[in-house]
Structures are given as C-alpha cells and as structure tokens.
A and B are shown apart, each in its own frame.
Chain A
C-alpha cells in the first residue's frame, strides 16, 4: 500500500515565538524553521511500516511557501520515496487553515490513492488539532486520532489512542486517516548518505489550482498579542517557609 504523510514547516519548537510589535502575528522572518515534530513522528511511523514490508511507497506532502522544499528534502532524507510541494502562498506569515489543507490533501489522496494517511495530531504553531479529522471526513474514511501505537493488519489498522482517561484501542478500516501523538516513536535522524540521496528523489511542485482547490480563510485573525506574563516570584530560604506558602494556598 501507499502511505501519504503531510508535513508542515513550522517555527522550530526550541525557538520562543515573538509577537510582532504591530500585533499582526508572530515574527517568522529570519528564525529557525523545522518540520512539525508531530509530522516527524508520523513520517517515522510510515517508514517503520514500510520497513516491516507493509507498505511500498511513502509520499510526503507539504503545503505552504516555496521554502517548504527544505522540509520535504528532510522528509526524503528520512525515508520518504517522493514528495509533493503545494505552493499555496508566497508569505510565510500566511498560515493555511486546516480546512483548506484538508481540501488539498483530499484532492491529492484521490489522485494518488493511498491506503493510509498519517498526520501529526497538531501543528505546534496554530495548535488547531484538526487537519486529520477534517481530511478523514472529506474522504469519508475511518478516523483514528492521537495514536500511541499502530498495528497494520490486512483490511484494518489497530490503533491505541491517548485519550483523557487513559488509552483506548480501536480498529479502523483501511483506507484510514490516523493522527499521531508524541509517544508513538522516536524519529530517526537522516544520515549524510541519505541526505545526499534525497537530493535525487522526485519532488513535484504544484499549485492548489492544479488540484481545483481554492485557498479560503474562514477565520480572520484580528490581532495577536502576548499572553499576560507572570513575574518571577520569591526564592524561599528553607522548607519551613515553603510549607507555610503551600498551606496558605491550599483551599484558599
């Protein structure tokens, strides 16, 4: 089977987001960008499924600016077989909404016919946690979110999901859209030879219009502000003082 893995290029998770002074958004000029950590996990899982002999091809897709090429090269170096770049904007500050992303991915899925789409459960920039679910609905496929364990069988995929109360296991009929959680695996680093090899792997560039998808924006961002900040407090001298502070604030 084929596996499709969408990968988003986001502000690196180690970099603190800075709100632009005019309140128009987060400053993304000259900052380190990386593959969304959850997408890295999704891709790693796809590679492992392929290594076990349960998949033949992995296609990585990225939607956004031209520079998302770099993210796709990383995906190819990790182990994706080919990549599709959908250039949907020329401004890195223009975040494409999950609903549009789902429309684009659904169009690609209809063309490519994957049996499985593995998505990160959320992008660490907009924190929407929505693309996989929307995509699954658009395709009318089965949906398994927040996976911490995946077992591909013949016609079904068994997924253990991280839910609020603990863990839930479900069987999802293939084709399926699965969103992955942090504990599913630890992504590999691309080796130097694989980075070199990735340069020769196919990377196709298309536009949303090629897929017949229109970029829409349903949520107008009116402003972006810093959260209320907390002041650093008091460093206490000893345990007795701490006990006192705890007691003051319990049931207070």
Chain B
C-alpha cells in the first residue's frame, strides 16, 4: 500500500482544514505522502510537513498550478499519482474537479464523498442526499477517494515530514483562467466553524440577512444559507449548505427561516446540536432539531442577539 493525499492549495494558500482532515481519513490506512502542487509552495509545504502521519511532502512549484485547473493538474501529475495504490483528495470543489478526471484518464472509478474508510478497499459513502449510506468495495487496483471532510477531525501538527521537490513534465492547457471572484470574510470558514448560523427563504431579503449575520458575529459563527436564500440573491453561493452545497458538522447549527428540505438536511444533519427557529410549527426542520422555537424570526433573532 502506498498512499498519496492531494493537498488543496488555492493560489499558494493551503486549505489547511480540508487537507488535514483528508490526511486524517487517509492515515486510517497508514502513513501518507502529500502532493503539494501550486504556484507557491513554501508556506503550504511547511504546514503540511507538520501534519501527523505525513511521511513525505512532494513539492511541485509552477505557475501552471495556481488555479489547479483540471487538465493541467491531472495531465502533469498522472505518473506520480499512478505510482500509488491509494489517492485521497478532499471532496471540495477542487477534489471533485480533478479526481474524476484522473479516474477517466486511468480508467479507474472514483469513490466520491467517502464518509468512512473501513479497510483498504472498502468504504462508506452517503447516497440519495444522505438518505442512505452505502458500503462499497472497490475492484480497481488504484483507489481514488474523495473524502467528506466533515466526518473527520484535523490531524495534530506534531509531525516532521521530509519535503522533496519533484519534476514536472509540462502540459498543454485546454482551459485558461480568467478571474476569481472570491468572497473574503473575517468570519470562520463555513466547513470548519464550531458554530454555524444559517438563514433561509424566510429571511426575505439581502438586507434582512444582516439579522443572521449579526447573530453569527455575536456567536463567532460562520454564516450559511439554504439554496432558496442563495437563489433569491439573499446570500452568496459559497454559503449554501446541502446536498449540492457545503456539508457542515459544527458543534452548533442554528437554522433560521429554513423549512428543512431533504437536500438542505443532507448538508447539516450531522451537526452535534441543531437549533431551529421557524414560525411554522409543522416545518420538517423541527424533526431533526434538538431545540426548536416556533416564532417570527424578525422578533426572535434580534432579541436572542441582544441577550447573548
């Protein structure tokens, strides 16, 4: 067994939480190497080298990898990747973009969104928006695994891996990067926050969403949203929680004006404690909430913020 983790690095910046949790999942099978391919690797590789259970950090520094475009990434790294028996990546927009392409190139089926590594060839993964959990056994020689990172904890920074530079054989780019419009925020990251406050269609407008943000800031929380809230333009797309958005599992999830559709529950029902505020006592969200308050959010949320 030879295990590789693809670190997620966006324009030189390591997605530390995602990468560390992926290392954690991979390390259930043994020591791992981590591939660090980006335009700037020094900070990222230093952080990765400290992650427990990492043996080698393979560094490939090239402008080509600044945006981790799928074609150049997989094309350039295919031989390196193919020399391992297991390749793990976070099930983030990075991992979901590159890993199946690698699978297509090598004729290997990808095992997406793994929530539990059971053995070297057997894995659990949610299907049907988390309404069922499947145990699958891979018959491929190479295992390509994307990890549902919310199911794993980050590894401690007690390691001291070797950092090795590796060669790069160039590529032929089919796509060209134009621009990023990234949300910047001082709030904790949605997928790693201890507390998440989310708003839904009930919040009613972008202006009103400040009520949600106010409570979130008081609690030091990340802000989330339902698809309806994002589609209506109340919140940016990267706040969406659910089957097709982000999957979160904080200590506390506060759902405000969210009905609790299965597609939304798929992204938050593994939270430790769920609190729901909804004026409709029949709302399905109350069936998964540990604590519910049947009330108008415009009255309740500002009052809660004041009292905390």
Contact = CB atoms under 8 A, between A and B. Distances in A.
Interface of A: 11, 13, 16-17, 19, 26, 97-99, 102, 121-122, 124-138, 141-146, 148, 158, 161-173, 176, 181-183, 217-227, 230, 232-236, 238-240, 242-243, 245-247, 249-252
30 contacts: A13-B263, A17-B127, A17-B132, A98-B110, A99-B103, A124-B128, A124-B243, A126-B127, A127-B112, A127-B126, A133-B99, A133-B100, A135-B104, A137-B105, A163-B93, A164-B94, A165-B10, A166-B183, A167-B182, A168-B181, A176-B174, A182-B244, A220-B139, A222-B135, A224-B127, A233-B292, A243-B308, A249-B273, A252-B251, A252-B252
Nearest to B269: A230
B210 interface: no
Contact of A233 (B104, B277, B291): B291
Closest 5 CB pairs of A and B: A137-B104, A134-B104, A142-B174, A133-B100, A218-B109
B138 to A, nearest CB: 6
B108 interface: yes
A170 B177 contact: yes
B134 interface: yes
A167 B136 contact: no
Interface in B182-223: 182-183, 191, 194-195, 219-220
Interface stretch (B32-40, B44-52, B66-74, B81-89): B66-74
Interface stretch (B23-31, B57-65, B153-161, B230-238): B230-238
Nearest to B294: A235
B209 to A, nearest CB: 17
A233 B289 CA distance: 6
A235 B281 contact: yes
A97 B137 CA distance: 13
Given A17-B128, A170-B175, A239-B293, 8 more contacts: A167-B237, A168-B177, A230-B287, A233-B274, A235-B281, A242-B275, A242-B293, A249-B272
Interface residues of B, number: 94
B290 to A, nearest CB: 4
B280 interface: no
B129 interface: yes
B77 interface: no
B284 to A, nearest CB: 10
B109 A219 contact: yes
Contact of B295 (A141, A168, A239): A239
Given A129-B100, A235-B293, A246-B252, A183 B237 contact: yes
